Structure 1
Amino acid sequence: MLVYSTDPKDQAIISGQAEKDKLAAQSRQLVDTKKFTVVFRLEKNGRGGKTVTILDQLPNHETFVKELTKELKIKCGVGGSYKVESGVAQIEIQGDKRDAIKKILDLKQIKYKGM
């Protein structure tokens, strides 16, 4: 734990962490979860028989989508990715994790429809 330092390297680390925390807080405030509805979809085609859960029609806000993807991957214990293009974003989570994802979205008060 760093108590006090005049070293410029330490100051840069401290200010960099503060900026990351500030940006994360701003990203949570900018997206109104009541203004969009997530659409669920399962895909198998073109994936070698593997099932993928897709959350579509998310807002075009990269930091929000990135944080949501990270949380879903951790809580479901699987891999996944996100894409932000042409005004909408989409999250791909490996496997059929609809039930777990629906519970997480309910806790975050995000509306969803589909399977």
Structure 2
Amino acid sequence: MKKDQRQGVVYSTNPDFSYQTSGDTEATTLPPQQQQLRVQLDKKQRGGKQVTLVTGFVGRDEDLQTLGKLLKTKCGVGGSAKDSEIVVQGDFRAKVLEVLLKEGYKAKQIGG
């Protein structure tokens, strides 16, 4: 085992101790009923343009991309999905919330 892979322990007197390595653990996606998604309108640092922001997604990046693609397709606009956030161009809060609830996600609208 390489020394740089050890996580936080230099030495242990416990005979049953084993080092925890920093291996890539695959994050699992929570089922839609357990997701706590928040839908809000955002204009900060976007040149005055409005976007619908969906935050709070817990899971793999592939599942986030799939959900983002579904929302963008239903709204008929562009956007992006990264860092547990989905950005849909334009003010589509009501439509995005409706689609998320229809898909079985627990979502609520934040802000006005």
Question: Taking structure 2 as the reference length, what is the TM-score of the superposition?
Answer: 0.68
Correspondence list, 1:2-13, <5 A:
none
Q: Provide the C-alpha distance between the structure 2 equivalents of 1:72 and 1:36, rounded to a whole number of angstroms.
A: 16
Higher helix share: 1
Correspondence list, 1:21-100, <5 A:
31-84=30-83, 89-100=84-95
Aligned-residue RMSD, C-alpha: 1.7
| Count of residue pairs the alignment pairs up | 83
- Tell me, which stretches of 5 or more residues in structure 2 are unaligned? 1-28
Query: Could you say which residue in structure 2 is the equivalent of 1:113?
Result: 108
Partner-residue secondary structure (3-state), 1:75 = helix
Structure exhibiting the larger radius of gyration computed from Cα positions: 2
Q: Give per-residue Cα distances to partners, 1:11-42, cap 9 Å, x unaligned.
A: xxxxxxxxxxxxxxxxxxx5411112101221
Aligned-residue sequence identity (percent) comes to: 34
Q: Provide the C-alpha distance between the structure 2 equivalents of 1:31 and 1:76, rounded to a whole number of angstroms.
A: 24
Higher strand share: 1
Runs of 4+ in 1 over 4 A off after TM superposition: none
